[in-house]
Chain A
């Protein structure tokens, strides 16, 4: 945001958080945050006085239009009540105290709560006695309908370009964007929020509580569809149009304006059919990815999960539709185990899944935060809207082996250059799937002792003929089959039996 300053009661050292903005987001300015940076010797003295001094200095130096005051995990323990202290200082600007329980809540919750408190505090004087709002007032007023975009922020996934894309999308349909918040918004912008006809909730993790507060207090409804994917973008447009009393757009607009539909239909993409995909990320991006994979790219989703507990219910519902049990966890080891278990051919996840996928030798693309600096690219790369779908098509298909190479490796396994697991379009030898065998093998070593199953030499040899990216799955199926049948040994025949059994 602009014109909003944050005084954070925190020990010396917590300023490392500045690097997330100056390095990962590559910002050319210091974050508007002043830390009290107390040290051990301050603890004996008056840390409350330190808070007040810091608040006073920050208010004077930066002259913000509004001041946020909060504590870090360590400050929470010494209980100086910095918010209340600052409120008692008679500052000229509004002071918003933040209570963010560091030992039970996490980042997205903090962002959502902060936005909510800021909006609530700044808009309180404007709240009408009776919430009444007409989403079609624009007709009577003889102007274009106007919406707010809520949720985009720094350190969010591709927010910079999503905003541009959604803005363009809406403008084409005759809808103006009023305020974008929090990204780039000022205090004055926040005060203008109630002037919009409709709120567009782009990132529910950040903005849903604010949207629903405005709905309750001002009667402004908000959209529930996040426009990531061709189908979702269409649903989103229908929702916006309907709420604003506009004629919904033509059903084939996505086909006309995005390239994903044709790229996915073209015969080059046939080999993508049924590719097994494991999806993990924040709730919004995971749900969107599942729909795209299943309905637009023809993949098969074999695992779906999120670390956003606030979104658990929605993700569970989405998983259920796919016949899956959602994985709700923030333990990366659990995610890695689930990934290994489902033996996917592609992983769509966060930076963490990139590490796990690398270890398991699986192709991977990043679809959600947490992210690293490479996911704040210089080029325009939205995830939302028609262009977002184009970006997604390229990004998710790229890590997979190209069709021709896949066929040839399946046929001739003795090449000296194009070896098993090699992906020459990624321009390195011994491609990302090269060591796929090692983890699977060690897993089955354990299985062997546990279940008494043993692969015969000819069974192993036959298994090695299976292309590497489905080999994990075939191994698992065959072992399941053998166990069901009570076989102790797995030969090439067992493998073919299992193949027929599971296809039937």
Chain B
């Protein structure tokens, strides 16, 4: 393979897996996410979820106190009490996620046992599962991988022939993709996570899995263990990636190639039209992606192949070579792919290479802008409907917008010549 794979370690600037709660709670409104952690964890979620937090809380933090640290027995009693109070106050909750954090992992609080105990006591009214979103074990989107894996044992079994789309999608994107797959001839298409935590899709030997997101390593393993076949494909970002992704499923379902082309060709033509204005801006521009979500490789592939950008460095917090094989194969020969991070050294490299655009987290975005380097803050990519052929234009727009903005306002805000005053 052509990419130049490197590794780096040192100080990192990334979110922990707790952050995944910010979008998962919207995907499954009947679930509640109870973090077992410290004030720091509570503060993280509040800062990240900002205004939404008090509209109708669907997540909270059981804050460990000094007493809990002293005795684990106390901590378990306390957790039971908090969970029961919560469920009393919110009787409509159907699934309770106990989310582990760094403090709870370090003191070895057994949340799996706690979940089991609560399950027994609540027999069936509410299902309690647990996963870790701690910073020491998970980075940002890994949290979703943990949550989906935790749902594994609850998925019913089936032999039915079906396509399972795995990974959170925006509602509209999900509807659109399911519609297209049905038009292509796949009758049963289901999603994990579902929109209601009680409507979990079944899984079994007849199940073909398409991962919609690249960060689902453990979920993929869990589904394989349940007998499903997990397809290897590029991820559905951009027109090309999405098309290859869909075609992979179609081949697995033995759909006639001409039928597939008949449905997808017009979509692809329209996508190219939508991409054109953005390509004009992005073409030839040099880009660095810093590690954040594991979406970086797929984005880089899209930006290089469909928007004509030049890849200076592609960072990723974690590289699953097997899941990313197809993406790696599509990257140009010699592309630097950096797994892990030493944030200071990486920033030195960014400054040295002075790229046209840097995709980075919000802790770095404004400081880089102040140095005159245009940035695209990366978290937005997790909150935007970017999947599928029809979304290719919108996805490109997320990257062209900061460049357009700078072109538009820079001359006025940084005048280089002194205009002489005009006297009438």
Contacts and interface: CB of A to CB of B under 8 A. Distances in A.
A153 interface: no
A22 B362 contact: yes
B40 A72 contact: yes
A27 B366 contact: yes
A12 B135 contact: yes
A337 B373 CA distance: 48
B71 interface: no
A28 B370 contact: yes
B65, B102, B369, most chain A CB atoms within 10 A:
B102
B39 A106 contact: yes
B367 interface: yes
A165 to B, nearest CB: 26
Given A16-B15, A54-B11, A40 B136 contact: yes
B170 interface: no
A16 B136 contact: no
A332 interface: yes
Interface string A55-87: 001000100000000001110011000000000
B51 interface: yes
A28 B105 CA distance: 35
A303 to B, nearest CB: 19
Contacts of A396: none
B69 interface: yes
B38 A74 contact: yes
B380 to A, nearest CB: 13
B364 interface: yes
Interface in A1-33: 11-16, 18-20, 22-23, 26-30
B106 A74 contact: yes
A356 interface: yes
Interface stretch (B42-50, B116-124, B249-257, B297-305): B42-50
Q: Is chain B's binding surface mostly helix, strand, loop or mixed? A: helix
Contacts of A218: none
A449 interface: no
Given A43-B136, A74-B102, A332-B54, A12 B12 contact: yes
A372 interface: yes
B362 A74 contact: no
Contact of A78 (B15, B40, B106): B106
B381 to A, nearest CB: 16
Contacts of A57: 10, 344
Contacts of B18: 13
B137 interface: yes
Contacts of A372: 50-51
B344 A61 contact: yes
Contact of B370 (A14, A29, A43): A29
A54 B18 CA distance: 25
Contacts of B44: 13-14, 16
A78 B136 CA distance: 13
Contact of A28 (B69, B134, B367): B367
A393 to B, nearest CB: 27
B16 interface: yes
A358 to B, nearest CB: 8
Given A36-B11, A54-B11, A74-B102, A13 B16 contact: yes
A57 B345 CA distance: 11
Contacts of B103: 73-74, 77
Contact of A11 (B10, B47, B55, B136): B136
A35 B11 contact: yes
A22 B363 contact: yes
A77 B107 contact: yes
A434 to B, nearest CB: 17
Contacts of B51: 355, 372
B11 A28 contact: no
B347 to A, nearest CB: 8
B139 interface: yes
Given A19-B363, A28-B369, A13 B54 contact: no
A28 B53 CA distance: 27
A34 interface: yes
A372 B10 CA distance: 32
Nearest to A356: B54
B362 A11 contact: no
A15 B13 contact: yes
B363 to A, nearest CB: 3
A20 B19 CA distance: 15
B16 A12 contact: yes
B367 A29 contact: yes
B352 to A, nearest CB: 15
A14 B139 CA distance: 11
Nearest to B46: A370
B48 A16 contact: yes
Contacts of A391: none
Contact of A102 (B39, B47, B363, B364): B39
B14 A22 contact: no
A30 B40 contact: no
A208 to B, nearest CB: 22
B13 A39 contact: no
A244 to B, nearest CB: 40
A233 to B, nearest CB: 33
A329 B15 CA distance: 30
Of the listed residues B17, B19, B50, the one surrounded by the most CB atoms of chain A closer than 10 A to its CB is B50
A237 B19 CA distance: 48
A28 B366 contact: yes
Interface string B104-142: 011100000000000000000000000000111101000
A502 interface: no
A16 B366 contact: no
B365 interface: yes
Nearest to A105: B39
B106 A14 contact: no
Interface string A88-120: 000000000000011110100000000000000
A10 B64 CA distance: 17
A355 B55 contact: yes
A14 B135 CA distance: 7
Interface in B343-378: 344, 361-367, 369-370
Given A13-B139, A15-B14, A77-B107, 20 more contacts: A11-B136, A12-B16, A12-B135, A12-B139, A13-B102, A13-B134, A14-B135, A16-B44, A16-B363, A22-B366, A23-B366, A27-B366, A39-B137, A40-B137, A54-B11, A57-B344, A74-B40, A355-B51, A359-B54, A372-B51
26 contacts: A11-B136, A13-B16, A13-B44, A13-B135, A14-B44, A18-B363, A18-B364, A19-B47, A19-B363, A22-B364, A22-B366, A23-B366, A26-B366, A30-B367, A39-B137, A54-B11, A73-B39, A73-B40, A74-B38, A74-B40, A74-B135, A102-B39, A102-B40, A103-B66, A355-B53, A355-B55
Interface of B: 10-19, 38-40, 44, 47-48, 50-51, 53-55, 64-66, 69, 102-103, 105-107, 134-137, 139, 344, 361-367, 369-370
8 tightest CB-CB pairs across the interface, nearest first?
A13-B135, A13-B16, A28-B370, A18-B363, A355-B54, A73-B38, A74-B102, A11-B135
